[in-house]
Amino acid sequence: MTAPRYTYRRCQPNDAALLRAVAVACYTPYYRDLWEPGGMEAYLASIYEPVLLMSELADPNLRFELVYQDGEPIGFSKYHFRCDRADTPNAAYLERVYVAPAVAGHGVGSTLIARMITTARNDGRDWIWLQAMSHASKPVARYRALGFEDCGQVTLSLPKVKPSEAAMIVMRLALRNRQP
């Protein structure tokens, strides 16, 4: 049996429908328990609304990247080239990394993250940061293994998010040597 072949492609505005389908398929299995009834569907409809998504895909500060396994889309990432925080200047923001459950644990998500870290370094950023659900132990452990450190906490404040599931960790990774 041959190893799967992964390819990566930056999304263009005309990829909105494909990206939406991949995003919904990859998000739903992992985050169903985060939402009260009807919440997840409303959330996904709002963030992947076609006109908004096409606008984001055309935004030069954003990068969406699809990953394919043997020609089939299996995940994506969303990256902001510049998105500073008060304690994290000259920073990029890794907003989303989702992969299909069938490829979870095969390094696909880690490769998407590594690609965006490289992009941020090549763009001269000092930091890259992200937010992760506090209860998502596997992704949080993966980020820590890549060198991300906790730098804050936030609460997801969206309609119909279960309050018990709304805690998030803010994490960042230094991309340049820091002076003491």
> What is the reported pTM?
0.92
Give every CB contact of residue 37 below 8 A, 6+ residues apart in sequence.
Answer: 160
In a domain, 1, yes or no: no
Structural domain contains residue 85: yes
Q: Tell me: the pLDDT tens digits for 98-148?
A: 999 999 989 999 999 999 999 999 999 999 999 999 999 989 999 999 999
11 lies in some domain? yes
Contact call for residues 115 and 77 (beta carbons, < 8 A): yes
pLDDT of residue 178: 57
Q: Rounded to whole angstroms, how far apart are CA atoms 73 and 144?
A: 27
Task: Report the CATH number at residue 17.
Answer: 3.40.630.30
Q: Does 179 reside within a domain?
A: no
* Pairing state between β 91-99 and 127-133: parallel
Give me the number of domains the chain comprises.
1
Residue 95 belongs to domain spanning = 6-174
pLDDT at 180: 44
Q: Are 100 and 68 in contact (CB under 8 A)?
A: no
Q: What pLDDT shows up at residue 2?
A: 72
Listed residue (68, 60, 78) closest to 128, CA to CA: 78
Asked if residue 82 is part of any domain, the answer here is: yes
Does 47 map to a domain?
A: yes
Distance separating alpha carbons of residues 116 and 173, to the nearest angstrom? 12
Question: pLDDT by residue (tens digit) across 29-73?
Answer: 999 999 999 999 999 999 999 999 999 999 999 999 999 999 999
Q: Is residue 180 part of a domain?
A: no
Helix axes 39-47, 50-58, angle to 10 degrees: 40
The band of 1, judged by pLDDT with boundaries at 50, 70 and 90, is low
Q: What is the mean pLDDT of residues 86-98?
A: 95
